[in-house]
A and B are shown apart, each in its own frame.
Chain A
Amino acid sequence: MSPNTSSSTGKDKLIVDEEEVLQAVILADSFNKRFKPLTTHKPRCLLPICNAPLLDWTFESLALAGVQEIFVICRSHAELVKTAIKNSKWSKPGAGLKIVPIVTAKETFTPGDAMRDIYTHGIITSDFVLVTGDLVSNIRIGDVVREHKERRKTDKDAIMTMVVKQSGVNHRTRSRGDSAVFVIDPETSKCLHYEAVTGYPPKKYASIPREILNEHPEVEIRNDLIDCSIDICSVEVPSLFQDNFDYGDVRRDFVHGVLTSDLLMKSIYCYIAKEGYAARVRDTRSYDSISKDILARWTFPLVPDDNHPGGHSYEHLRGNKYIAKDNSVILSRTCKIGNNTLIGSKSQIADNAQVIASVLGQQCIVGAGSIVRNSYLFDGAVIGPNCVVEHSIIASGVHIKERTRVERGCLIADGVVVGPQAKLAPFSRLSKRRQDSDEEDEEFEDAEEEVKTATTEDEVDSELEDVEANQDPEALAKLGPGTNAIIWPLPTVDEDEDIDELEHPDNQRLMRIGDNASDLVLSDPGSITSSGQADSAVISEFQQEVKQSLDRAFAEGHSVDNAAVELKTLRMASNVSLRLVREAVIAAIVSRIKIMAGGGIPQRQEIASMISRWGGLIDKIGGVDPVETVEILQEYCASSDRLPLFGQILAALYQDDIVDEDDIRAWHGNSKSQGQGVKPTSLQDNYNKCWVTGAHMIKQFDEQDSDEESEEDSDDGSESRDPVVENPVTKELPSAGANSSEENSCEENSDEEDEGNTDEDDSE
């Protein structure tokens, strides 16, 4: 700041500065539709919050942080964004900011696509700040950048620092629908694990890889952080997006992907901001809470009366009321202005009107006796006399005629006329019908259309047409005689539409202005089953895949080793326990065994050939546990029509050395094998039958041990197989009376089942 800096040294300084220019990238597109229909003709980043466009708040936040060069990535309504930037105070020479708008391709559907676009543009020269176009912050990002750079000196793999802000779980600014669990090493503030959390259905569990707990003596698992979406990224980040073309979201895909990947070996850090405020307008709910935070001065010095990004000046009055300073506001003597209210210039509030905890834009009019509570009126909105507006966002030029009731959660887009005496249902979303627009308006729209690019216009058009085509005349009639509005349907999910959990209407309800979603939260206890379902979905999917993979292996005659490798990869991919794999393999093998009509020898041969061909697979899936194998076999046989084959299969396994005597004894000794604790009694019976079969075998072993010990040693495999296998079927060996009777029943039962089976086969 010294004036002595002469021009000669000034040049050197410039060069030094050039090296240290802090770059920022703003993703000006939201990539979702939470503000529809407010955003049909305007990108979200140009919506005003506290009477200044969101983008200006973002610029101010970055300027506050010492950023010198900003790239604005815009997609929808790119021309509008460009013009807005050109006309703003930021493009004046004295602003000290260089803003470059970049229009990305229309195929950019996710932040990831935008990052790939940044990569192809090659604009990033050093560490940069990545933010979204809807950020309100007063955090000193410069400090975070310094910390990041310092860390980079020692750890080249630290590619990103995420700025998070501590808040309570129930903080109004913390998104209930879209939060995350961070696992952080408190010492190094390295982010070890990231798991996105959706609000509905409520997430009950977060799974943290065991290695993290092994490697770090101390970890913090936190779900009370507001993700500010301010990331200090290294140059590698865009190229990582380029390499991994499936990364969509920066958090859910990129951060999660990098942290879970064994190959990338990159690390991501968290910066838990102690001071300062930062939040993102993700949805209408956070729009509401951030507006309130601004009015409550949490964003100081970014407050309406001090450093208003729109350049307006407001007078700060007791109770955090802000009234435009230019004396153009007309307040009636009997009107009531509540706390936390902002009133833009040239606004008028008539007799007995009440404006409470609301933001009024410029030239707004509130008629006599009306009540505006917790609502946001954009420039030029007119509320007629005796209306009630609660918890809603009313866009510019809207005219709400007398005695209209706007219930909580309504979004009313530009230029809509409603009323008189209309009653809007909670959470209705209205926009202007285009056909009804008079010529003047059409001209205006034409001009707008020219500005806009063809694709977005088409998109908007088709959506608008859809909505217009499906209007309910009854509902429209409630909007009053003078209306030009169309009602947007409440979001629903098509059965076949594959919708992201995050964007699910139920989850979105948590992000809606004025929605306390009490009915959703009440359904909390039921969530355990729902999460169980999610698990079982994964498992059944896995089982399906194993079955398919084995089917292929059987059909194409793969070697056991190849099949095992395939199974291992599958297991890694779906991250399931080993037992599940074993279950799946045994189920697949046993189900392959054909049930021979007559039983006896052909059946035995069938089993033997199957087990000798594929039995080895059971032990090659990544762990050997014969006792479990028998358990699973029992479980499978007990619950399928292959119950009678249990003994034979077990014998075959024994023959192939997949299980040995001790394993069978161990299984037999296990109380669970007798079917204890198994719920349906029929199933328990089946368990019991298997157990009895096993008991038989053990008895045989005992006898063999005592009688034919030497013989068995000298016998070859086929000889010794016969008595064992024949035992349950042919009953040649002596057995106790009680046992034999049971054996009989078992036999009968199995015969019956066999018959049933053949019948079925016949019918087929």
Chain B
Amino acid sequence: MATDPSSVANQRVVETLASRLRRRQVVGSRETALETVLVLRQVISKVRFSNIDQLVEIIRSVGRKLVEAQPKEHTVGNTVRKVLHHIREEYHTASQGTAVVSTSKDTLSIAKFVLQGQPRKQNVPQKTTLNKSQVMLKENDEDDPDAFARTLKPVLMEAIQDVLDELETVYDNISKNAKDHIHSDEIILIIGKSSTVEAFLKAAAPYRKYTVIVADTAPSYSGHDMAQSLSSAGISTVLVPDSSIYALMSRINKVMLGAHAILANGGMFAITGSLLAATAARAHSTPVVVCAGQFKLTPQWNLYHEYGALDFADPSSVLGFEEGNLVDKVDVVNPFYDYVRPELIDAFITNDGDHPPSSVYRLIKEAYDDEDYEL
């Protein structure tokens, strides 16, 4: 007897995460991604299913619930898609018996794609020869409905562990090549506090001597924390107000941005001020590189048409609540994110290699299954 997908979605763990997401008690792309994987693992370890479709449907319903709770935290949906992709992959491997030469993660890059052509997914269904020596996957077994789940669950857990591992090592993997991107005596402009950018810069610090200019990033002023953290790591750091970004741009060799979500068209959502920096960089033809984990790749691409997609926070950081006289007369708009167009970005540095914005759609196609674009 399979578990009813809707009842799974109402499970306590799911409900808890959904409400925490809704209440913004879990924030930050990586945090939310990790929480999502953990919840999915908990759900899968408990549910009963007798064929792959049921399992997929269960996970999708959980994913739907979480995404609805917080549509602006795109990594939730991405993680669910990623897990689904891995599950299908494992399922195919198990049902085919013979281990398909699985194109592992590190081979997924534009370079490899050009060399090898279509990735494995399209090849998989053609291989129908089953290795009888392998344990047979019995789908829809009348006598023992749990047999399928029993055989598959260990591999599923492994697959989820893979996703988890990837998330946990994402900063290391991104900053692996840091010293190839940062050269000595470079001046790099960064904005806001992004853990990815922070790890990336710190990884290059032992090898290169360079200067980082950190913008204040009003109204959150997260640039202050960032500057503190970088300078304590021994990087020469300069903190400047946002207003001087353009003035300084002629001296800057590279603009380095973090991302909230990378859209399929190559554009991205990033902390407010990123658009300002990217546009100023364009005026001076300064390269703009974005450091982001692969889990930020989002299959949607036309989100920027929606005004609300930028996620507007409360006005208090812009106009203090104590300014009683003004509150009634002034409408304050305080967006969390800027949408940065693909034309303004030169490269994405991910844990999956470096890519230009124009090939992001390929990355997405490799990372997720087409049928999951809409959860």
Contact = CB atoms under 8 A, between A and B. Distances in A.
B113 interface: no
Nearest to A165: B321
A317 B307 contact: yes
A171 interface: yes
A319 interface: yes
B322 A3 contact: no
Contacts of A172: 324, 327-328
Contacts of A275: 316
Interface string A641-663: 00000000000000000000000
Contact of B314 (A289, A299, A305, A316): A299
A297 B312 contact: yes
B24 A319 contact: no
Contacts of B323: 168
Contacts of A313: 68
B45 A3 contact: yes
B25 to A, nearest CB: 8
A168 B322 contact: yes
Contacts of B308: 305, 315-317
A96 interface: yes
A299 to B, nearest CB: 7
Contacts of B312: 297, 300, 316
Nearest to A308: B22
B324 A340 contact: no
Contacts, number: 101
A188 interface: no
A96 B19 contact: yes
A237 interface: no
A311 to B, nearest CB: 10
A93 B333 CA distance: 37
B38 A2 contact: yes
Contact of A224 (B42, B68, B316, B322): B322
B107 interface: no
Interface residues of A, number: 44
B38 A1 contact: yes
Nearest to B41: A3
Contacts of B14: 94
B307 A316 contact: yes
B321 A300 contact: no
Interface string B310-327: 001111100001111101
A298 B41 contact: no
A63 B321 contact: no
A397 interface: no
A94 B15 contact: yes
Interface in B19-34: 19, 22-25
A291 to B, nearest CB: 13
A301 B24 contact: yes
Nearest to A94: B15
A510 B238 CA distance: 52
Interface in A255-296: 275, 277, 289, 292, 296
Nearest to A169: B324
Contacts of A3: 38, 41-42, 45
A93 B15 CA distance: 9
Interface string A133-171: 000001000000000000000000000000001111111
A168 B325 contact: yes
Given A94-B15, A170-B324, A174-B324, A63 B314 contact: no
Contact of A306 (B16, B22, B321, B328): B22
Given A168-B324, A317-B308, A297 B315 contact: yes
Interface string A83-116: 0000000001111100000000000000000000
A610 interface: no
A64 interface: yes
Residue in B38, B42, B306, B324 with the greatest tally of chain A CB atoms within 10 Å: B324
Contacts of B314: 138, 277, 297-300
A336 to B, nearest CB: 17
Contact of A340 (B42, B313, B331): B331
A339 interface: yes
B337 to A, nearest CB: 13
A320 interface: yes
A307 interface: yes
Interface of A: 1-3, 63-64, 92-96, 138, 165-174, 224, 275, 277, 289, 292, 296-301, 305-307, 313, 315-320, 339-340
5 A-B pairs with the lowest CB-CB distances in the bound complex, closest first? A168-B324, A171-B324, A94-B15, A316-B308, A300-B314
Given A95-B19, A168-B324, 6 more contacts: A64-B25, A94-B14, A138-B314, A168-B323, A172-B327, A300-B314
27 contacts: A2-B38, A3-B38, A3-B42, A63-B23, A95-B19, A96-B16, A96-B19, A167-B324, A168-B323, A168-B324, A170-B325, A171-B324, A171-B325, A171-B327, A172-B328, A277-B314, A296-B331, A297-B313, A297-B315, A299-B314, A301-B23, A305-B308, A306-B22, A306-B72, A316-B308, A317-B308, A320-B331
